[in-house]
Amino acid sequence: MQKFTKLSGIAAPLDLVNIDTDMIIPKQFLKTIKRSGLGVNLFDEMRYDDDGKEIESFVLNQPAYRDAQILVAGDNFGCGSSREHAPWAIADFGITCIIAPSFADIFYNNSFKNGILPIALPQEQVDVLMKDAEKGANARIEVDLEAQTITSSDGEVFHFEVDAFKKHCLMNGLDDIGLTMEKAASIDAFEAAAASARPWV
């Protein structure tokens, strides 16, 4: 998993509440167990018409936001079913930070495990960043995980809270497998001792 320390990027405004996981990645794309390749289908039903052509009005289809790395969204982001494909699709598109007033719990936790930083801020602060994001590609927002700050393109700074353990994992690029591998020496020692004590197993 990629380390997350600082990010300075274009933010896409998606001013909708209750964006659920089926909107993020519709059910027909859940057959894969690979984390890659889902970005093209992120927000599929909002991005494409029935003929598979891009809907020009959708924010991620607009030239200014095709390379967005930050998403500013409405309340209760990631609600609905607990599909991990949702953060997979977001990360594969290239978005590594989501700012919203609140998140669904399962989506929130899955995001950290997939290299995405979800930041919950008061509505009035999200409103400021939403308007900042609407300026387009010239407005870059900076996210500093170590300092736990967001800086708007106008230099306005917002502080955010994040669990210390989740922060540690993101800054060091540790998913569940990475955390396990940190204990590799202890695991090897245990297995060697177990094999010596019970060679018949």
Q: What is the mean pLDDT of the chain?
A: 92
CA atoms within 13 A on the CB side of 75: 3
H or E segment and range at residue 196: helix 184-197
pLDDT band of 193, cuts 50, 70, 90: confident
Contact 83, 32 (CB under 8 A): no
pLDDT band of 181, cuts 50, 70, 90: low
The domain limits of the chain are 6-197
H or E segment and range at residue 132: helix 123-133
pLDDT for 65-107, tens place per residue? 999 999 999 999 999 988 899 999 999 999 999 999 999 999 9
pLDDT band of 1, cuts 50, 70, 90: confident
End-to-end Cα, the chain, rounded Å:
35
Whether this prediction's pTM lies above 0.95 is answered by no
Q: What is the pLDDT of residue 199?
A: 82
Q: What is the pLDDT of residue 29?
A: 87
The CATH number given to 6-197 is: 3.20.19.10
